[in-house]
Structure 1
Amino acid sequence: MISLNFDIQSFLKQQWQKQPIVIRNAIKDFEDPITADELAGLACEEVISSRVVVTTDDDWQIIQGPFEDYEQFGSEKWQLLVQAVNHWYPEIEPLVDAFRFIPDWRFDDVMVSFATPNGGVGPHIDNYDVFILQGEGQRAWKVGDKGNHQQRNGDKNTPLVEDFDPIIEVTLNKGDILYIPPGFPHCGQTLTNAMSYSLGFRAPSQQELISEVADFLIDNNSGHQRFTSDQETCVAGNVVEAHQKKLMSLLSELCSKPDAYQPILGQLLSRNRFDLDVCPDEHIDTEALKDAIEAGALIQRIGGLKVLRLENDGEKRLFIDGESYALSTLDEAALGYLSENLTYDNEWLRFNIANEDLQSFFVDILKMGYVYLTE
């Protein structure tokens, strides 16, 4: 278990999505849950997103993984970054659990990096909240204020920005955390060989929401209501303002009805951006499930899986990785237990497994590989 050594409520009130902050010794006696060699091993896998950033004179070269050899990069001025390590390496999960004071739907992934001296990724701006936890080694960080920051060298395709005046300039040691909200430019430079853990929290953009609405309407053959009007103008080439507003009200009306937007939000917010390490159980059935529970089995979620419910949902259901699972005979307490817990203990399973909806639910997600039976 990992405990955070700061006042969570004060942080949420004063810093969350407002101001960057350095939290010294945020995790006491922190020890890296993964080694540099183990991280390099993950970056060998095709299915895992990884990259190396090489620092050159006033520039940063990005090389996409997978990687089999790092000797080409030398002993300094490069950094390995591996996304969604929490999906593939169970020892990262306690770190994720410590940050569940922020709702799961916001959580993106844990990116882990190994950097050599003078390695970094250059000054850039993220569109998500990030907690940067320092492991072994030291890294120097600069954070600037929000503002009209120009893309580096006028390149509209680069994520990098021009140098900025820092409002925070700090060296992180093991267990320190640097929190950066969206929109604040920042850059880090490694002082010694170092491990870092970036916990990202992301919310959907307008573009993503509109795209999800469109996909849902097409997939479900819905949203067929059309514009109607009780009067027309006599100007052929003009779209009057009243018609403009009424056309757009078709969207606002759709998005104001919970029975219309709740399944859309549930699917969008439960979906993972990165691949999950699924473990399908193709042979499981109801009897095998009940036998395993009777023998003392627990049910464990895989790393990174989101199990969400919507407050005041019009239906009793859960959303998992973009899909809806109906559980019409379960009460709110049971739905809450399933969405809040990463492990479903044997006592709870024994007490509730007689419910046929629950049996079907567990068989379905065991077959999908989202959970697995363990002792």
Structure 2
Amino acid sequence: MYHLNFAPKTFIEQYWQKKPLLIKNAFENFEDIITPDELAGLACEDSVSSRVVITKENDWQIIEGPFEDYDQFGDKNWQLLVQALNHWHPDSAGFINAFRFLPDWRFDDLMVSFATPGGGVGAHIDNYDVFIIQGEGERHWTVGDKGLYAPKNNDPTTPLIEGFEPIIDVVLEKGDLLYIPPGFPHQGQTLTTAMSYSMGFRAPSQQELFSEIADNLIDNATGLKRFTSQSEPTQASQVSTQHQQHMMALIAEFAACPNSYQAVLGKMLSQNRFELDLCEPEEEYSAEELDDYICQGALLYRIGGLKLLQLEGDCTSRVFINGEAFEYPEDIEENITQLTQRLSFDNQQAALLFQCSATKELILTLLNRGYFYFGE
């Protein structure tokens, strides 16, 4: 199991989304989650998002996967990046669980890097929170303060920047952790062949929220209330300040009603950016088969990366899963909470859930969707 060597409450109060933090030996006796050979094998798969970044003098080349051969890249100045390892590698579940002091809706993915000496990405700025955990090997990291930085080669579309003055300058070793909030420039360079793990946490932008709400209004033919006024400007060509404010008040009025936004938020925040590794059965399970599996001692698992979310104060009893709402009777609220909190259930825990017919029916649906699966 993976246990963080710091107090989450203190971290959230003093550092979360405020300033970078270096924690040496954040994971005592840290063991890599995956071997380089296993990672290279995953990057051969079409369904896995991967890329190789080649470091060149004052430039970088990105090659998108899948990959069949790595000999072409040589033995230095490149790194392999695999996104959403947690979707494809069940052994990463314990590592993910160590960061669940932050809400599941924020968690984006676990990216893994295998890097040769000299491999890395130039100075850049991300718009999300990231925890970088060092596995085998060593990487040199620098982090700068927030500020205005010139984009690399005057390209406004790139996250790369020309450079920065470091406020953190450190060589990460096995088990070390570096936290970087959005907006802080950083750069990593590999010193010895290394494995690194990046835990990314994202939040929606205004643009994304407005887009989701607008799509929902169109799809459901809602939000049809029109602007009305009690007075008009004296100039026909003028849009008065009062009219402008009252039009914007229509949006505020809509946004103030939970019925207007809760379903939108639940569906939006429970979706993943990366493909899920669904475990759909060859033939759909029946309720009787579920009982047989439990009698045989089966365990129940949630697939990697799947988000089960509930909205506090929701106007409907429902759980949001992969962009879809599943309603349930109020009397199984405790069981639903267990489903959302746990990533796996031992045989006894699963058997207790199945004793309730409504819970069993929902789990049957999730099993047939490939969202859950039985294991030994």
TM-score by length of 1: 0.96
Give the Cα–Cα distance (whole angstroms) in 2 for the partners of residues 107 and 129 of structure 1. 9
Question: What per-residue deviation string (whole Å, max 9, x for no partner) do you get for residues 32-71 of structure 1?
Answer: 1111111111111111111111111111111111111111
Over the matched positions of the two proteins, sequence identity in percent amounts to 56
- Counterpart for residue 343 of structure 2: 342
Range moving further from structure 2, 219-228 or 275-284:
219-228
SS at match of 2:124: coil
Deviation of the 1:285 alpha carbon: 2.1
Deviation of the 1:240 alpha carbon: 1.1
- Counterpart for residue 366 of structure 1: 367
Which AA in structure 1 matches 2:340? Answer: S
- Counterpart for residue 39 of structure 1: 39
Give the Cα–Cα distance (whole angstroms) in 2 for the partners of residues 240 and 334 of structure 1. 54
Change (3 A) 1:211 1:174: same
Change (3 A) 1:287 1:228: farther
- Counterpart for residue 8 of structure 1: 8
- Counterpart for residue 95 of structure 1: 95
Deviation of the 1:335 alpha carbon: 2.4
Where does structure 1 lack aligned partners over 5 or more consecutive residues?
none
Question: What per-residue deviation string (whole Å, max 9, x for no partner) do you get for residues 256-300 of structure 1?
Answer: 111221111111111111001001124212222233234433321
- 1:308 partnered with 2:309: yes
- Counterpart for residue 190 of structure 1: 190
- Counterpart for residue 18 of structure 1: 18
Give the Cα–Cα distance (whole angstroms) in 1 for the partners of residues 345 and 263 of structure 2. 25
Question: What per-residue deviation string (whole Å, max 9, x for no partner) do you get for residues 323-344 of structure 1?
Answer: 1000124343222211111113
- Counterpart for residue 247 of structure 1: 247
Whether contact under 8 Å (1:131, 1:198) holds in the other structure is: yes
TM-score by length of 2: 0.96
Question: What CA RMSD, in Å, does the superposition of the two structures yield over aligned residues?
Answer: 1.4
Moved over 4 A (4+): none
Whether contact under 8 Å (2:353, 2:360) holds in the other structure is: no
Whether contact under 8 Å (1:316, 1:330) holds in the other structure is: no
Whether contact under 8 Å (2:335, 2:359) holds in the other structure is: no
Give the Cα–Cα distance (whole angstroms) in 2 for the partners of residues 153 and 116 of structure 1. 26
- 1:225 partnered with 2:225: yes
- Counterpart for residue 69 of structure 1: 69
Which AA in structure 2 matches 1:333? Answer: E
Give the Cα–Cα distance (whole angstroms) in 1 for the partners of residues 90 and 334 of structure 2. 27
Whether contact under 8 Å (1:309, 1:335) holds in the other structure is: no
Which AA in structure 2 matches 1:144? Answer: G
Whether contact under 8 Å (1:52, 1:81) holds in the other structure is: yes
Give the Cα–Cα distance (whole angstroms) in 1 for the partners of residues 168 and 330 of structure 2. 53
- Counterpart for residue 180 of structure 2: 180
SS at match of 1:123: strand
Whether contact under 8 Å (2:336, 2:359) holds in the other structure is: no
Give the Cα–Cα distance (whole angstroms) in 1 for the partners of residues 302 and 220 of structure 2. 29
Which AA in structure 1 matches 2:33? Answer: P
Deviation of the 1:233 alpha carbon: 2.7
Whether contact under 8 Å (1:329, 1:357) holds in the other structure is: no
Deviation of the 1:249 alpha carbon: 1.7
Equivalent residue pairs, number: 375
Give the Cα–Cα distance (whole angstroms) in 1 for the partners of residues 254 and 294 of structure 2. 43
Change (3 A) 1:305 1:226: same
- Counterpart for residue 49 of structure 2: 49
Deviation of the 1:85 alpha carbon: 0.6
Which AA in structure 2 matches 1:357? Answer: A
Which AA in structure 2 matches 1:11? Answer: F
- Counterpart for residue 266 of structure 1: 266
Whether contact under 8 Å (2:81, 2:113) holds in the other structure is: yes
SS at match of 2:280: coil
Deviation of the 1:230 alpha carbon: 2.8
Deviation of the 1:234 alpha carbon: 4.0
Range moving further from structure 2, 347-356 or 79-88:
347-356
Superposed, 1:142-153 pairs within 5 Å as 142-153=142-153
Whether contact under 8 Å (2:332, 2:359) holds in the other structure is: no
Whether contact under 8 Å (1:299, 1:371) holds in the other structure is: yes
